[in-house]
Amino acid sequence: MKKITAVLAAGALLLGMSACSSDGGGAGGADASGDEYSVGVTFSDLSNPVWAELVQEAQSYGAENDLAVNYVDAKSDASTQVTQIENFIQQGVDAIIICAVDAKSLVDVTKKAQDAGIKVVGYTQVLDNYDAQYLVDAYNTGYANGEAAANWITENYGDESVVEWGLMDLPTFPEIIDRANGIKDAIEELAPNAELVATNSALTAEEGVTNAENFLQANPDMKVIATIGGGGAQGGNEGVKASGITDYESFGLFGIDATSIEIENILKGDPQKASVSLGGGKAHGRTLVDITSDLLAGEDVEKDQYMPITVIDESNAQEYFDEVFGG
């Protein structure tokens, strides 16, 4: 059975964001006077199920640690996110956690925040001005996903001259482009009989459903779909089933994020065969809270921290689900 120690160790660190509306819950670490620190959180798009899970955990974890966390959704609008950060600065928050829509659009406003004495923490997207960041090793994450797909292709269709596959990417973000390139490179190197015949963007489960249905309608011989995230994987799994495929062992879908729904699909024997865990939304929420709390306490914090990479498949899915999602 594959080891998942790295995932669990990451879960012990994890950090959070906030919770509901502009009046967040608690989270973090109190100052010497015993007052709460205030933390503003802005995410590029909370329709992403992993990020939605993250903010829920951040709220509850923050409440245990005297960090008052408020979150807002930029809804993929860069100008909206700039305004949200400006509002946090005007409110006098102690720290801001940012999952950027467009990192370049935030250069001036993040400098303004730091000049005001506000700690800036980045998540997934690289910022120019920051005190700490929690990042994905994008290329190697994608490569791990592609390697799992390639191994499945070789095991199940190694004797076939051509195996068609589709990719759900998200070229809006440079880091996600790197992730998609890792997927493509691994499959090309390790499954030379695989041919990429369809590509389209997917962030949400709804987009994943639509893409899978369209991929298979246009390419009925397709045997594999790889996705850059959990939203596309969750939806893609349902889209494959809706397309009329009933022999789930004959089709392989491979995701990234290892959400609870993805792991349940693997355990059920659905089309999804594996997902790459980066620690999970709950763990990330806790890690972000911990990083922010340490910064506000004046502790030395490593500026660039990276999420663990672990492939979850049928061999370790039950153990992972029990330990990460509570069985």
CATH number at residue 43: 3.40.50.2300
Contact 124, 138 (CB under 8 A): no
Predicted confidence at residue 3, as pLDDT, reads: 35
Q: 264 and 149 in one domain?
A: yes
Give the pairing of strands 95-99 and 119-123: parallel
Q: Which of 239, 257, 277 is the last residue of a domain?
A: 277
Residues 107 and 121 occupy one common structural domain: yes
189 and 90 in one domain? no
Which domain range does residue 65 map to?
5-135+281-306
Could you report the per-residue pLDDT of 268-323, keeping only the tens digit for each?
A: 999 999 999 998 888 999 999 999 999 999 999 999 999 999 999 999 999 999 98
Same domain, 123 and 191: no
Is 322 within the bounds of a domain?
Answer: no
Question: Do 194 and 124 belong together in one domain?
Answer: no
Please report whether residue 321 resides in a domain. Answer: no
Residue 313 lies in a domain: no
**Which pLDDT value is given to residue 63?**
82
Q: What per-residue confidence (pLDDT) applies to 12?
A: 32
The pTM (predicted TM-score) of the whole model is: 0.74
* Separation of alpha carbons 309 and 320, rounded Å: 13
Q: Is residue 93 part of a domain?
A: yes
pLDDT tens-digit profile, the chain (327 residues): 333 333 333 333 333 333 333 333 333 344 444 568 999 999 999 988 788 889 888 888 888 888 999 999 999 999 999 999 999 999 999 999 999 999 999 999 999 999 999 999 999 999 999 999 999 999 999 999 999 999 999 999 999 999 999 999 999 888 899 999 999 999 999 999 999 999 999 999 999 999 999 999 999 999 999 999 999 999 999 999 999 999 999 999 999 999 999 999 999 999 999 999 998 888 999 999 999 999 999 999 999 999 999 999 999 999 999 988 885
Q: What's the structural domain count of the chain?
A: 2
Tokens coding 49: 């199920």
Shared domain check, 106 and 37: yes
CA–CA dist 271, 252 (Å, integer): 5
Which tokens hold the place of 160?
A: 């076939």
Q: Are residues 130 and 143 in the same domain?
A: no
Residue 319 falls inside a structural domain: no
19 and 114 in a common domain:
yes
Separation CA 112–CA 107 (nearest Å) = 9
pLDDT of residue 55: 84
Q: 175 and 193 share a domain?
A: yes
Query: What's the farthest any 2 CA atoms get from each other in the chain?
Result: 70
Q: Classify residue 314: in a domain, yes or no.
A: no
**Residue 327's pLDDT is what?**
55
Task: Please indicate, yes or no, whether residues 115 and 147 belong to a single structural domain of this protein.
Answer: no
Neighbours of 204 (CB within 10 A): 18
pLDDT at 192: 98
Q: Domain check: are 273 and 146 in the same one?
A: yes
Q: 44 and 29 share a domain? A: yes
β-pairing verdict for 310-313 and 272-277: antiparallel
Whether 50 is covered by a domain: the verdict is yes
CB 122 within 8 A of CB 133: yes
